[in-house]
Chain A
Amino acid sequence: MMEAFLTGLSVELVMKFLIVGGMVMYCGFGVVLFMEAKVMAETFDSRIGNLGKMAALLHLALAVGLVALAVVIL
């Protein structure tokens, strides 16, 4: 069974898994960036606080969107 699985693997498929896996991990970094923006916004009141949070959230959404795109394209 293991042999059949291994023979079914191609270099392209392994590459796809590695790329998508890396991008999923990057989404975790996107969450950290959003949390950073949230922690920073608590420092003092400012209009930039919401802007920073929105930018970090946009970055996270783009990262998740890119994972979906990679799964479709690759």
Chain B
Amino acid sequence: MPDIYQAMEEGRIEEPPRPREKLAQKYDPKPMIKQVLEKCGEWPRQAMMGAYCVAPGKRFINEQEDEEIVLLLRAHPITTIKWLFWAGILLIVPVAFEATGIFGSWPAGVVLVGKMQWYLMVFAFIIHEFLKWYYSVFIVTNERVVDIDFVNFLTRVVSYTNLNHIEEPSMVAGGLFKSIFRYGDVFVATAAEGQTTEGRGVPYPNQVIRIISELSEELEIRRERGE
């Protein structure tokens, strides 16, 4: 006859259920992101020399556990033309001065050291401007919009806007350059007065707005479901 009840062995304590089931239920945003991207006609890719990255699979500062980057944007590469032009001008300045013969009466050592110092400063200028362009990013995740700016050498300004707090995303794209190279400014306003997150000079602003709106809607639906 089968046993109906079996007593536990002496000294053995029954372990409480482990939170593994809870871990298994952890929200995975990837399917939702894939669905939103498909809806917007997007796929994981990099365009405009890395200024427009869709689902790059990177981690960023202060990222939340169930957060995934959907868009990583930086200013269109054409916006760097201004400082590239200045770098070019600065590089030819010593040559131009030398051609005029202005340093003729100066000791050769001073001229040599001065020229090398000048080129070193131009090198520093290029490093600084490039890093500033590369790391000033506008990130759209499945939860938030994150704007990271570098205002001077060691100051990083990070502003966050939750997708469920967004009032209305808007964009400005006009003018000759912006129309030709397809970039513009994206503004994400929240219910709080005066709170706007901005992405300046980002590629395909209309597509960015569309993706932000879709993600915001999806988040709303998820919240209604209590997920």
Contacts and interface: CB of A to CB of B under 8 A. Distances in A.
B41 interface: no
Interface string B64-76: 0000000010000
Contact of B113 (A30, A48, A56, A70): A70
Interface residue range, chain B: 20 to 34
Interface residues of A, number: 30
Contact of B112 (A15, A29, A73): A73
B113 A66 contact: yes
B59 A59 contact: no
Contacts of A26: 117, 120-121
Contacts, number: 81
Main secondary structure of the interface of B (DSSP, over half): helix
25 contacts: A15-B110, A23-B113, A23-B117, A26-B120, A33-B124, A36-B128, A36-B154, A37-B131, A39-B154, A40-B131, A40-B132, A40-B134, A40-B150, A40-B156, A43-B61, A43-B148, A43-B156, A44-B59, A45-B58, A46-B58, A59-B123, A59-B124, A62-B123, A66-B116, A73-B109
